[in-house]
Structures are given as C-alpha cells and as structure tokens.
C-alpha cells in the first residue's frame, strides 16, 4: 500500500473505498484463448481506480499499466536496485544529476505500428504532471524537452539522483500522443480541468507495451491481449486475465489450477499449499511505530527516554515470526531491498532490562498511552491489529500500559495526517524505489511532522537529510543515507519494525515467476 502524501497510507484510503468482489474461477490452467495461444489468469485483490497512466497510482493499476505501456527505463524481474533500458537504450547524467539525456530505441513502436518519438515522451510526461493527479509529484520540477526525434532531455533546478529510479513507475508510461489527443487528451498547463481522455483510456490503450487493453473493470476483471505490433520479445501468453479475488480464495484457485498466479497470499496462507511454486522475499513495505514528539500532544510519548524504552522493549523477532516466512526485521526506514538500506547488524535489539532502565530515566511513573492504527486494511496479508496486540504485550512487560485504539482507515488517517496521534502504528510502501523517498521521516518533513518532530528538534539531522537529497553517486548515496537512518534510529521518534513478505504463488506451468515490489509480478519475463 503506497502513494504520495500519505505514503503507503494514501493508497489505504483509496483502497478502502473500492468495492471488492470475487469472480468465478477460470475453467482451466493456461487454457487456450479464443484467438489462439495461452491465457494467463492472475488473482489479485484489487486496488484499482484507472488504467490511465496519468491518473494511476495504485498497485493493481501498476500491474496493468506495466503490461500496456513502456517507460524510458525499467526494472527487470524482482531487482529494484538496477535500472535497465526500456524505450531508452542509454542515458547520461550531467551537471550533478540536474540534467539527464535519454536516447530512444528507434525500433520502438506503438500498438498501432507508429514509431515512438521523443515528442510522445515529452507530451506523455507533461500530461502526467499537468493532470495534477496522484502521480504528478513524481516529476514535479522537471523540465522535459525533445532534441530531435530520438532524444529526450530532462533538467531540474536541484540535483535529482533519484530520477532513474522514478521513471520505471508505470505512471510515466509513454502514450501515443496523436491518438490520445484525438480522444480528449492534452498536455497543457490546464490539463487537470481540460483533459477528457481518461474514460477512453479505461476502454482502450495507447501504448507500446507487450499487451493491449481488451476490457477493464475496477471491481471484477481486466483482460489484456498480446500486442501484435510489439517491438520487443513476444510475450509468452496471448491473453492475461487479471481477476479481483480475495486472498483466501486465491490460494484455493491456484492449488486446483483455476488460476496461474496468486499475488495476495500471506506466508501463513501458503503453508498448506502443495504442487505449486511459492516465491517469498522481503517486500519493500515497512511497518513502523512512532511516538509523538510534540509535548502538547503527549508529555509521555515526547519524552526521549520513553522513546528509547519503547525501542528496547519491542520483541522484534516475535513480530517477524507473526508476519511469517520471508519477512524480516527492518533495521531502518529504507527497505533492505533498496540502495541505502542499513545492514541487518544495525537491527534494533530487544532488551527488557535496558527498556526498564530507560523508562526509569524518563521520570514517568506507570505511563499510559493510546496506540492508534487502521483496522480495515491488510498489507501482504498482515493485520495491523495483530501487530498492535504484540506491541501492547511487549510494552506492558516493562511497565508501559498501552490502550489499543483501532479505527477505520478514514478516521485514523485524519488524526495521523494532522499529527494528533500520541502513538501510531502505520506502514510505508515506496512511491518509488529510491532512498530519497524516505527523507519524509526526517525532522520537519511530511511524516516527521506527523510524529510532531520539527526541524528545530534536530537541526543537525535536518541538515544531513538535505545532504542526502543532494548527494550523487551510488557509493556516496549509500553512505549518507545509512548515516541518516542511524541518526534517525538514535534520535528520532520512529521505531522501524518489520518488512512483510511479498509472496507470489504460481502453478508449475509458469516459467520465470518473480515478484516485483512495484507492479506485483513481472509479466514481461514470464514463460
């Protein structure tokens, strides 16, 4: 669960509003489609609003648009640390990452057979920004121009070393500008009020990806057909049928061959499965606890020794065991699968004696605090309430009374975003797979302020956060983001807990199955 402004939690709000239904099982595994070839059936509990890349920013939408649209660069398989070519065969970073030059593959073609040009790239990215939708922030501040038919130049006033990691997001998918303009699309500054192409793009596609859209529903299923003019390697399946199915049913379906892939099962839900492939790995989704640093909200949670006591009291191994095989303790807010992550040796250590000593230093007598969390959402099959109950037990052992305060996500979001929660349990999923996405946890930044943590509370760390934002070069960025997280762990009001497991289950007939932290499963490499 991810998205800008609320991070992972922004998507929780929109996901909770979606109607979730379960559709019937497919008739056979890898059944021939009506037009010949094989059909791939994928079960997914939909978080789906639109197929229009300029508006799309939900996990199910990213799976769909990754099949329909190409981006300048991309990731392959499950690797989110290595950017590889897509529409761009090569690219160059200049002027301390303020300028990037992308050279397009002249072989690239849209599904109608027309060439993909630099003008289409510029138009598509400008439209996405000017629509002012959920993904518009991704390229905010970037000036995008074409230099000849096969060269795109992107410049910004500030260094943007994260740009190559942002551009694989399917929201930056390149559209056939001539076709979309003919159906109401515009890249003008007033696109947010004048563009009318979304409805058409929910019934048709205008991309250069391996598939084209056949049918689209946000509540039942999305069907994609192989693109006959695809310029890359021909996809293994002629039809992809993405069905809205809740997790418990997905497991039954994949075991009896009524689907080929299930992407929403928790580790616990896979234990009884047999005769299938099970791929487990840490997801980029990070659960974290925070204690509000604002004394006007709570004189208890803002006490620095209380914060230290909470950090030492949590039984992290118990939380990992609860989350299941493939889950890990996260040593910092940056997931272990991203550049800049801390090593496992930096994991917070559980010590009841240290926690009791720190609590004694706080001067607080029998402190009591309310813990708020959303009740009507899950992440990778994990309930917030189960984690909250474990935290409550752990803190009780050192003399801290925790009152659980479960709320609907809509209600909880209001107090969370307003910085009114004394203690909160939330989750952050990546807007894009780069450590700069986690600077929001710094003092004076988005999530920092939600935890009552201002720049004045930690000016040195605020300076380090800005240095991290401006640093270029892989090795230098790795070092500065690790330093940022080390100080965040020592001085901040955040307690990173666990990364849940991303589980992909598939029938044995599917080859090259790999999960992906952005678009759930990589359709392009399947065999």
Location of structure tokens 């890990």: 328
Which residues of the chain fall short of a pLDDT of 50?
A: 1-29, 31, 33-35
Q: What is the DSSP letter of 91?
A: E
The whole-chain average pLDDT of the chain stands at 92
Torsion over CA: 387, 389, 393, 396 (sign): positive
pLDDT in tens, 144-162: 999 999 999 999 999 999 9
Per DSSP, the three-state class of 400 is: coil
CB 384, CB 375: distance < 8 Å: yes
Angle between helices 304-313 and 384-396 (to 10 degrees): 110
Tokens for 444, please give them: 């004076």
| Closest to 43 in 3D by CA, of 57, 58, 29 | 29
DSSP code per residue over 204-272 = -----SSEEEEEE-SSSEEEEEE-TT-SSSPPS-SEEEEEE--HHHHHHHHHTTS-SEE----HHHHTT
Q: Please, what is the Cα angle at 221 between 512 and 185, to 5 degrees?
A: 100
Q: What pLDDT does 248 receive?
A: 86
Contacts of 320 (CB under 8 A, 6+ apart): 327, 328, 329, 498
Distances (CA, A) of 201 to 55, 56, 139, 204: 10, 11, 21, 5
Tokens for 508, please give them: 């044995």
Distances (CA, A) of 164 to 23, 81, 302, 432, 439: 38, 10, 38, 10, 17
Entry field: residues in the chain: 527
Q: What is the DSSP letter of 116?
A: P
Cα-trace Rg, the chain = 23
**For residues 144 and 27, what is the distance between their CA atoms, to the nearest angstrom?**
47
DSSP code per residue over 505-524 = EEETT--S--EETTTEE-GG
**For residues 133 and 29, what is the distance between their CA atoms, to the nearest angstrom?**
38
Contacts of 299 (CB under 8 A, 6+ apart): none
CB 130, CB 196: distance < 8 Å: no
Q: What pLDDT does 36 receive?
A: 52
Location of structure tokens 């191994």: 317
**For residues 22 and 28, what is the distance between their CA atoms, to the nearest angstrom?**
18
Q: What is the DSSP letter of 349?
A: P
pLDDT in tens, 234-272: 999 999 999 999 888 999 999 999 999 999 999 999 999
Distances (CA, A) of 526 to 98, 264, 455, 515, 523: 36, 18, 47, 11, 6
**For residues 112 and 466, what is the distance between their CA atoms, to the nearest angstrom?**
45
Domains and CATH numbers, the chain: 8-268+508-525 (3.40.190.10), 282-502 (3.10.105.10)
Location of structure tokens 């890349």: 53
């Amino acid at each position: 669960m991810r998205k800008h402004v609320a991070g992972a939690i922004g998507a929780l709000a929109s996901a909770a509003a979606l109607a979730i239904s379960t559709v019937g099982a497919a008739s056979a595994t890898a059944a021939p489609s009506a037009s010949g070839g094989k059909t791939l059936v994928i079960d997914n509990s939909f978080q789906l609003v639109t197929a229009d890349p300029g508006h799309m920013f939900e996990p199910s939408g990213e799976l769909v648009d990754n099949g329909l649209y190409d981006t300048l660069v991309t990731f392959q398989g499950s690797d989110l640390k290595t950017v590889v070519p897509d529409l761009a065969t090569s690219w160059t970073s200049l002027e301390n990452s303020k300028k990037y030059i992308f050279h397009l593959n002249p072989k690239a073609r849209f599904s109608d057979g027309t060439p993909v040009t630099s003008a289409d790239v510029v138009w598509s990215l400008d439209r996405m920004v000017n629509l002012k939708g959920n993904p518009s922030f991704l390229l905010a501040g970037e000036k995008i121009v074409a230099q000849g038919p096969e060269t795109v130049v992107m410049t910004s006033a500030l260094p943007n070393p994260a740009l190559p990691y942002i551009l694989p997001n399917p929201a930056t998918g390149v559209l056939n500008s001539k076709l979309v303009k003919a159906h109401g699309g515009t890249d003008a500054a007033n696109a947010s009020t004048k563009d009318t192409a979304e409805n058409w793009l929910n019934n048709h596609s205008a991309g250069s990806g391996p598939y084209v859209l056949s049918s689209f529903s946000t509540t039942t299923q999305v069907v994609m057909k192989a693109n006959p003019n695809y310029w890359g390697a021909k996809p293994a399946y002629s039809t992809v049928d993405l069905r809205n199915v809740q997790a418990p049913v997905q497991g039954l379906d994949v075991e009896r061959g009524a689907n080929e892939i299930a992407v929403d099962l928790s580790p616990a839900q896979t234990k009884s499965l047999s005769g299938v492939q099970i791929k487990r790995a840490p997801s980029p989704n990070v659960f974290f606890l925070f204690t509000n640093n604002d004394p006007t909200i709570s004189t208890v949670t803002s006490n620095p020794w209380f914060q230290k006591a909470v950090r030492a009291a949590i039984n992290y191994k118990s939380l990992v065991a609860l989350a299941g095989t493939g889950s890990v303790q996260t040593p910092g807010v940056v997931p272990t699968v991203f550049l800049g992550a801390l090593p496992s040796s930096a994991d917070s250590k559980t010590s009841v004696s240290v926690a009791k000593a720190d609590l004694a230093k706080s001067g607080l007598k029998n402190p009591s605090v309310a813990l708020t969390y959303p009740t009507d959402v899950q992440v990778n099959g994990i309930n917030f309430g189960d984690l909250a109950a474990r935290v409550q037990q752990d803190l009780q052992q050192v003399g801290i009374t925790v009152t659980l305060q479960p709320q609907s996500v809509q209600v909880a979001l209001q107090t969370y975003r307003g910085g009114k929660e004394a203690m909160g349990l939330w989750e952050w999923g990546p807007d894009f797979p780069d450590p700069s996405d986690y600077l929001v946890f710094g003092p004076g930044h988005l999530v920092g302020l939600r935890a009552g943590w201002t720049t004045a509370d930690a000016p040195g760390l605020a300076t380090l956060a800005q240095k991290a934002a401006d640093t270029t070069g892989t090795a230098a960025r790795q070092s500065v983001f690790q330093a940022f997280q080390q100080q965040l762990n020592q001085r901040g009001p955040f307690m990173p807990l666990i990364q849940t497991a991303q589980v992909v289950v598939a029938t044995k007939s599917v080859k090259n199955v790999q999960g992906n932290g952005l678009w759930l499963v990589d359709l392009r490499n399947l065999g």
